[in-house]
Structure 1
Amino acid sequence: MQTERYGTRDQAYSAWHRCQSTRRYVGIEQAARLSMIDLDGALFVEYDNGDREPLALIETARDVGQPVKPCTVTARLAQRSGLPAYVVLYRTSDLPNPADERQPDIQSFRVRRIWPHPEPAWRVLSPRSWAEALLQIR
């Protein structure tokens, strides 16, 4: 059994994903469409805000320069469910998130699709680009 590495769960991605945060990038109407639920503090399910239909699985971790992020279970859940899945690493900023000043803001993302058609390399995205990609998932 794995032990908790840090003793607490990082909430930076959760704070960034909130409507009052993502509105900076896509406007309030589009930000209101970006709904997700946190399954364990590192695995998120994007869902349709209207009918609550699951849209994608997203495993997250803080970006500390790691070349890989193990995500076998998430990939297998995606295969079984038929949902697309991504692994998302985020690099935090020295500035607080303006929507929740208790959390650091996010300055960049490294994203890789893990199911279907797994991507071999990371894509580096700005917060605006990742918010727009989340809208495309819908």
Structure 2
Amino acid sequence: MKHRLLTGDMGFAVGWALLGLYWMVGAFDYPLWSGFAPDSGFLPLVYGTLLFLLSVAVALSLWFGEAEEEEREPLTKSLLVLAALVVVVASLGFIGFLLPVFGLMMFIYLYVEKLPLLRSAVVAGLVTASLALVFVHWLSIPLPLVTWDF
């Protein structure tokens, strides 16, 4: 059983449990309830408790569960997605929101996940259009759309 306790999964579970515990303890420095509504300490207490309990559940399942060999995704996929996110965030200011997000999703679907071109384009287009509809039109959040000022 000792080999399962020294895995990255157990390290992440313990780390998130400690973060949840930190939020729970820190929430008591703020008022939890004010009149008929929750106050500033309520949500950190709730989210910290949920994070702590879920992390403890993961740690217990790793401790008492059966050891199973699972095939993990290669690290290169994660690094490719991280690099693509960095490029998108860096380009949001001068290209806008729609084109970089569409390009990010096309890159992930086509190159990383190797999905067909038509399906990738349709899903990336629908998700990008949905994000623009929700944030720009319904919520009136001024996302940087296209700014071609050089």
The two structures have a TM-score, normalised by structure 2, of: 0.20
The two structures have a TM-score, normalised by structure 1, of: 0.22
Structure with the greater relative contact order (CA < 8 A, sep ≥ 6): 1 or 2? 1
User: Which structure shows the higher helix fraction?
Assistant: 2
User: Which structure shows the higher strand fraction?
Assistant: 1
